[in-house]
Structure 1
Amino acid sequence: MNWLADILDGTNRAIAMVVRWLVLAMIVIQFAIVIGRYVFGVNSIAAQESVLYLHGAFFMLGAGYTLLVDKHVRVDIFYAKLSDAGRRRIDIFGHLFFLLPSMTALLYWSWPSVRNSWKILEGPISVGGIEAVFLLKSLIPAFCILVMLQSLAILIRLFSRRPTA
């Protein structure tokens, strides 16, 4: 089953390799917005919204990779002091009873809004903005699916590994 976990890891790695360039694009666009506004007196709502879209895409599509490389926020104060077997049990419990159910609930409850947004091809957030809010809302189910896939890969590895103590 580790081959399946490798495929799921590879999916999030590949997406992260693409998504990381969104940060550079976001910086360049924001710099252009500031120069345009304060040097040339030109303003663009669509350009400002594009920074919002890129920021959302970066964080939502990069969440699975963050879980893969174990750089997410841990709140458990006892985790670091536990044995490998104790950490394994907490990880399994957390994925099965917190992460997967919360992602499933978010996917379930957000889906009608995303579906309706696509049905009407929901327009811009602001007048003169990007006419693609439906794409922005699509990041929600993508986020849920990528995090769930990574959680599944982690669980496969946790269940295939033998506890040491």
Structure 2
Amino acid sequence: MQFLALCAGIICHINNGLGKVFSWLSLGIVVVCFTVVVQRYVFAVSYVWLQDLYIWLNGAMFTAVAGFALLRNDHVRVDIFYRPAKIRTKALVDLIGVVLFLLPFTWVVYAYSMPFVTRSWGYHESSANVGGMPGLFILKSFIIGFAVLLALQGVAMAVRSILVLGGRPELVPPQIRYGAATAETPDV
């Protein structure tokens, strides 16, 4: 059980670190978008690669921080029943959700995107726009990263559920404890 808790903690640490790093891309997106607007409307100049850049930064950021969002419970959830539920009920719902929905979804994304990404790397795909950015194959690789990071965070959620349902909630890493992000009191 302690090994599972250690693995979950490592996964959370990885997603937390990547999330904090890649969330800074939002500032880059704003700066690049502002630059594009100023160049276009003030100086009547436009660069296709710069327009590609803020779209690509947006794609990179959102795919890289998906696991971080799941770690922080920032994803969309209809929690009419979930929020007031007891911790053990939440753990059971999370375990079922991860096993039946999240992990199969990430596997499908991974399996269907791998040939797409491999082909893109094979011919070093770049922007379809004339004068656009090179290196689209790198951006497409973020799809694989998205699936892997989201699946790993799902595994950490499953471990949390197993620890809670197994009567060992004290082993749950602090980043993913139920109520860690809110003022909830644990009622195991």
Q: TM-score range with shorter-chain normalisation?
A: over 0.9
User: Which runs of structure 1 show a deviation greater than 3 angstroms over 4 or more consecutive aligned residues?
Assistant: none
Aligned to 1:93: 96
**Residues of 2 paired with 1:3 and 1:63: CA distance?**
21
Aligned to 2:7: 4
1:78-137 CA distance string (max 9 Å, x none): 222432222211110000010000100110011101000000111213111111111121
One of 76, 79, 83 as aligned partner of 1:80: 83
| CA-CA distance at 1:4 after TM superposition | 1.0
Q: Which has the higher helix share?
A: 1
| CA-CA distance at 1:21 after TM superposition | 1.3
| CA-CA distance at 1:76 after TM superposition | 5.1
Aligned to 2:108: 105
One of 21, 31, 34 as aligned partner of 2:24: 21
Does the 8 Å CA contact 1:103/1:144 hold for their aligned counterparts? yes
Alignment of 1:105-124 (within 5 A): 105-124=108-127
**Residues of 2 paired with 1:101 and 1:9: CA distance?**
20
One of 50, 53, 58 as aligned partner of 1:55: 58
Q: Which runs of 5+ in 2 are unaligned?
A: 170-186
Does the 8 Å CA contact 2:91/2:160 hold for their aligned counterparts? no
Q: After the TM superposition, which of the residue ranges 122-131 and 78-87 deviates more from structure 2?
A: 78-87
**Residues of 1 paired with 2:78 and 2:135: CA distance?**
36
Secondary structure (helix, strand or coil) at the match of 2:23 reads helix
Q: Which runs of 5+ in 1 are unaligned?
A: none
Cα distance change on mapping 1:122 and 1:95 into 2, 3 Å:
same
2:67 paired with 1:32: no
| CA-CA distance at 1:73 after TM superposition | 0.4
Aligned-partner residue type, residue 3 of structure 1? L
TM-score, length-normalised on structure 1?
0.94
Does the 8 Å CA contact 1:125/1:133 hold for their aligned counterparts? no
**Residues of 2 paired with 1:105 and 1:35: CA distance?**
41
Aligned to 1:135: 138
